[in-house]
Structure 1
Amino acid sequence: MNTNTTAMNPALLDAFGAEIEAVKQRALADRGERDARYIKKLVKIHHLLTIGARLSIFASLLFLPASLFGFSIALSIASWPLFWLLFSAGSIGLGIAKILDNMEIGHNIIHGQYDWMGDPRFHSRHYDWDTNCPGDQWAYSHNYEHHTYTNILDKDRDIGYGILRMDPAQKWHPAYLANPIFATLLMLFFDMGVALHGVEIDSLRSGRKTFKDVWPELKLSLRKTAQIWGKDFILYPLLAGPLFPVVLAANVSASVIRNIWSFSIIFCGHFPDGVHSFTEASCENESRGRWYYRQLLGSANLTGGKLFHVMSGNLSHQIEHHLFPDVPAHRYAEMSVEVRQICEKYGLPYNTGPLYSQYATVWVKIFKLALPPRNTPAPQAA
C-alpha cells in the first residue's frame, strides 16, 4: 500500500487539482444530445432484455418433461436440452438486465449524472432502481458519505461495510476470523447487504445508534425489499402455477448473478493492492487538489472492452468515477486517457489491471486480514 507521494507539496497539489478540474469542466460543458441518446437507448435495451428474459423463463416450462405428461417418453427426454437452454438464457438474461439497471442505469442516474436533462425519468430525485435499497438512502450513504469521505478510516463506512476487515489499520477482533465467510455471504446477498448498510444497521452493534434511531429508515428499506421480493419471488412464480419453483429458481439465480457481479466490480474498485486509506486528521482543511489526490489514491480501475465497461456501470473506471461522480459515466473511458497522462506528469500512481488480477488481490487481502496482525500499521497519510 506504499507509494512515493513525498513530492506532492501544496503547490503541486493545487496544480494537479486544477488540471483534473479542467478535465471535468470540459466534459460537463460538452454534455448534450449524445448523453441523452445513450441513457435512453440503454433503458430501452434494459426493458427489452427484461421482457425477453422473463418470456424465456416461462417458455422453458413448456419443455419441462413434467409439462409433457401424456406424451411419449422419447419426446419428454428430448425436451430436456430445450428446457435448460431457455431456462439458462432467461436466468442469465434477467441477471444481466438487473446488472444494467443497478449499475450503468440506476447508480449513475441516482448520482445526478442526467439531472441536467430536466426529464423526471432520468432525474436523481425521482428515479428508483430494481434493488432493495431505496434510492434516497443510497444517495445519502453512497453519494454523500462515501464520495465525501472516500477511504477515510472511521468516516467512510464502505471500508468493510461494518462487517469486514479490509484495511490493516482497522483494529483486529476475533470476529474477523470469519472475514472470508462474511465476504462470501455479502457477495451472494449483496442487495441485502447494501440495503442494511444504507440504514446504518452496523451502528446498532457499535452503539452509535439505537433501534429507535434506525427504525424509520429500516422500515422504508423493508418496504422496498417486500416490493422487490414480492415481484420476483412471489408474483412471477405464481403465474407459473404448479411450476412455481422453476420460475422462483430462475429469479433467484438472476439475483445471485447480479449480486456476485456487483460485489466483484465494486470490491475491485476499492480494495485491491495499491489502494490507500487515510486518517481523518490528514484530511483536515483539505483543498480541492488534495481531495482529487485522495480520490485517485483511494481507487483502482479495471481494464476491458466497451461491453465490459457498460456491464460494470463504468465502475471499471473507479478512479474517474471518484474524481467525477456527476459526469455521465459512459464518458469515463475517454476521460481516463487525460487523467492517466496527468498522473504520469505528476509522478502519481494510476492503479489499473485486469479483473482477474485485481480480484485475486482482493481475496488475498480478505483472507490475510482475517488473521491477527503481527503489528498494526498506520494508514497511509499521503
Structure 2
Amino acid sequence: MCKKEEHSMSSPVSTTTASNTDTTYTWEEVRKHTEVDDKWLVVDGNVYDITKWAKRHPGGNKVISHYSGQDATDAFGAFHRDRQFVNKFLKLYRIGRVDDDDNRSSELAHDFDNVRELTKTMDLYKPNFWFYAFQLGHIIALEVLAYATVRYFGANIFSFLLAGLFMGTSQTQGAWLNHDFGHLSVFKSTKLNYIVQEFVFAGIQGAPASWWKYRHYQHHAKPNVINKDPDIKMEIFFLVGDTVPKEVAKAKTGFMPYQHQHKYFPFLLPIFLIPVYYTFEFFRYVIKRREWVELTLMIAFFVRLFYLFAPFLGFVGALLLFMLARTIQSTWFVWVSQANHIPMAVEHDEADQHWVQLQMNATCNLESSTLIDWFTGHLNYQVEHHLFPTMPRHNLHKIRPYVQSMCEKHNIPYIRKPFWTAMADILRSLKKSGNKWYELYNMLDPAGDH
C-alpha cells in the first residue's frame, strides 16, 4: 500500500529474496508471515514479501504492516489512485500467488469492485477547485477577522472571546481542509497535495502534516481495530467498545473511574486532547523524526501569532487566545470525529473480514444539510469516505445511494443518524462500555476501590 505514488526508489532493495515467480502459497502459509522481520501480504492474488519495503513505505511502516498475513487488495485500491504506477515498484517484491483466493471470489467482493468502477465512470475523483478555493479562502478570512477584532475593539473580554471563536473556527475548518490534502483528494500530483497540506496544517495551524499521516492512515487501514487503530487507544482516560473494557478489567491496568467516563468525557477529552496532548505530541514527533521543514513552519506559526496579537493582548493574552482557539477546535473535532466511530464496534482484527465489512462495522453517517456538511467537513459521509478515502468530499453524497444499495443486498447495516442522536450516542456508548468494565472489575476484585 504505497501511499505516495510519486515516491522515487533511486536505490531499490535487492530482489534476490523476492522475485517474480510462479510459486503458489496457501493462505495458511501466508498468515504465518506477520513478524517484524518477516512480513507477507496479498494484493490481487499475488503474494509479496514486504519485509524490507515496509521500512521504506512512504505511508509509514505500521499502516502497511497492519495487513501482514492478510489480503490487502481493497486497502491497496483505496489508498492508491494510480495503481499501475505503484505496481511498478510493488512487483519487485512479488514472490508468487495464493492458490485459494476465495476472498476475491465472493459476491460482496464482486459487487464492491463494481461500485468502485462506478466511482470512476461517474468521474467522482475529479475535484471542484472552486470548492477548495472557498475552503481555503474562508479559513484565511476567519484568521483576518480574529486579528481585526482585537485591533479595532481593543483588549476586552468581548473582543477576546469573539477573536477566539473566529480563530477556533478557522482552525477547525483548516483541519478539514488538511484532511482533504492528506487524502490526495485535491490535486493529481501526490507531491503537490503534500506540499499544500504542510502549508495548511503546519503553516496555518502549527501542526505537522507528517504526524497526521502517520496516525490517520493507520486509522483508515484498520478503523476501530484494537492495537492497530491509534484513535481508539484511549485507556489512560476512556474505554470504548465491548472488548477493551473486559480486557482492562481482567488485567487491572486502568486507574480511572471508567463507570463515570460518560460524565467526564464532555469536559476532559475536548480540553485535554488538542490544547495539551496533541500540542506536546506535535513537537515531540517532528523533533524525534527530524522533520525540520515542518518544525520551521510550526515555529513560524507561533511567531506570527504573537507578532499579531501580543501588541494588543500582551504575551500572556496572546497565549490564552491561542489556548481558547485550540479548545474550541478540540471540542468541535472530538464530538464530530467520535460520533462516527465510538458508538460502533471496537474489536480485534479479523484476517478474513472484507474491506466493506471492516469499514461498515466501524463507521456510521450523520444526516446531511448544508450547515452540517460545513460543520463536519463532510465527515458526516464517513461511510463513503472510508470506502473511498481519496474521493473529494463534495462528491461523497453522489455515491451514497449505491453504497447503501450494496449494503442492503448483503445484509450489512448501513447506519445514518440525525446529528443530535449521533452526539448523544457517544455518551450512551461510553456509559455502556464503562459499566461493562465496572461490573467485571468488581466481580474479579470485590474489594476494588474504583
**Structure 2: stretches of 5+ with no match in the other structure:** 1-102, 442-450
Distance 2:421 2:281 in 1: 27
Distance 1:368 1:223 in 2: 44
Would the alpha carbon gap of residues 308 and 327 (structure 1) be closer, same or farther in structure 2, given more than 3 Å must change? same
Would the alpha carbon gap of residues 331 and 61 (structure 1) be closer, same or farther in structure 2, given more than 3 Å must change? same
Shift of 1:96: 1.3
Q: Which range moves more in the overlay, 220-229 or 163-172?
A: 220-229
Matched, 1:321 2:385: yes
CA contact (8 A) 1:271 1:362 kept: yes
| 1:77 alignment partner in structure 2 | none
Distance 1:227 1:16 in 2: 49
Distance 2:278 2:108 in 1: 34
CA deviations on 1:15-66 (whole Å, 9 max, x unpaired) are 3422432343235x3444x51221122212221222122211322217x5xx
Would the alpha carbon gap of residues 133 and 109 (structure 1) be closer, same or farther in structure 2, given more than 3 Å must change? same
Shift of 1:326: 0.6
Distance 1:126 1:187 in 2: 27
Shift of 1:304: 3.4
| 2:345 alignment partner in structure 1 | 276
Q: From 310, 318, 322, give the equivalent of 1:238.
A: 310
AA of the residue aligned to 1:332: L
Q: From 96, 120, 143, give the equivalent of 1:50.
A: 143
Shift of 1:313: 1.6
AA of the residue aligned to 1:327: M
Would the alpha carbon gap of residues 278 and 375 (structure 1) be closer, same or farther in structure 2, given more than 3 Å must change? same
Structure 2 counterparts to residues 76-91 of structure 1, below 5 A: 84=158, 86-91=159-164
CA contact (8 A) 1:303 1:355 kept: yes
Q: How many residues align?
A: 322
| 2:446 alignment partner in structure 1 | none
| 2:97 alignment partner in structure 1 | none
Would the alpha carbon gap of residues 15 and 252 (structure 1) be closer, same or farther in structure 2, given more than 3 Å must change? same
Would the alpha carbon gap of residues 126 and 89 (structure 1) be closer, same or farther in structure 2, given more than 3 Å must change? closer
| 2:181 alignment partner in structure 1 | 109
| 2:173 alignment partner in structure 1 | 100
Would the alpha carbon gap of residues 304 and 326 (structure 1) be closer, same or farther in structure 2, given more than 3 Å must change? same
| 2:113 alignment partner in structure 1 | 18
Would the alpha carbon gap of residues 237 and 309 (structure 1) be closer, same or farther in structure 2, given more than 3 Å must change? same
Q: Percent identity?
A: 18
The structure carrying a bigger strand percent of its residues is 2
Shift of 1:199: 9.1
AA of the residue aligned to 2:366: L
CA deviations on 1:229-284 (whole Å, 9 max, x unpaired) are 5544x33332216x555554443322211110001111001112xx223432x225
CA contact (8 A) 2:364 2:414 kept: yes
Distance 1:199 1:165 in 2: 27
Distance 2:440 2:111 in 1: 34
CA contact (8 A) 1:46 1:101 kept: yes
Would the alpha carbon gap of residues 343 and 119 (structure 1) be closer, same or farther in structure 2, given more than 3 Å must change? same
Normalising by structure 2, we get a TM-score of 0.62
AA of the residue aligned to 2:345: H
Report which structure shows greater RCO (CA 8 Å, sep ≥6). Answer: 1
Matched, 1:146 2:219: yes
Would the alpha carbon gap of residues 244 and 140 (structure 1) be closer, same or farther in structure 2, given more than 3 Å must change? closer
CA contact (8 A) 1:19 1:342 kept: no
| 2:445 alignment partner in structure 1 | none
CA deviations on 1:148-178 (whole Å, 9 max, x unpaired) are 1222222212113453311221122432425
AA of the residue aligned to 1:168: D
Distance 2:280 2:297 in 1: 12
**Structure 1: stretches of 5+ with no match in the other structure:** 1-7, 65-82, 202-213, 377-382
Structure 2 counterparts to residues 1-382 of structure 1, below 5 A: 11-26=106-121, 29-32=123-126, 35-61=128-154, 64=156, 84=158, 86-103=159-176, 105-116=177-188, 120=192, 123-128=193-198, 129=201, 130-143=204-217, 145-161=218-234, 163=236, 164-170=238-244, 171-172=247-248, 173-177=253-257, 179=261, 181=264, 184-191=267-274, 192-194=276-278, 216-217=288-289, 228-232=301-305, 234-240=306-312, 246-272=317-343, 275-280=344-349, 282-284=350-352, 290-371=354-435, 372-374=437-439
Would the alpha carbon gap of residues 25 and 219 (structure 1) be closer, same or farther in structure 2, given more than 3 Å must change? closer
Would the alpha carbon gap of residues 183 and 369 (structure 1) be closer, same or farther in structure 2, given more than 3 Å must change? farther
Distance 2:137 2:185 in 1: 18
Distance 2:422 2:172 in 1: 20
Q: Which range moves more in the overlay, 333-342 or 177-186?
A: 177-186
SS in 2 for 1:369: helix
AA of the residue aligned to 1:304: S
CA contact (8 A) 1:132 1:224 kept: yes
CA deviations on 1:188-217 (whole Å, 9 max, x unpaired) are 13324446677999xxxxxxxxxxxx9714
Shift of 1:226: 5.2
CA contact (8 A) 1:57 1:90 kept: yes
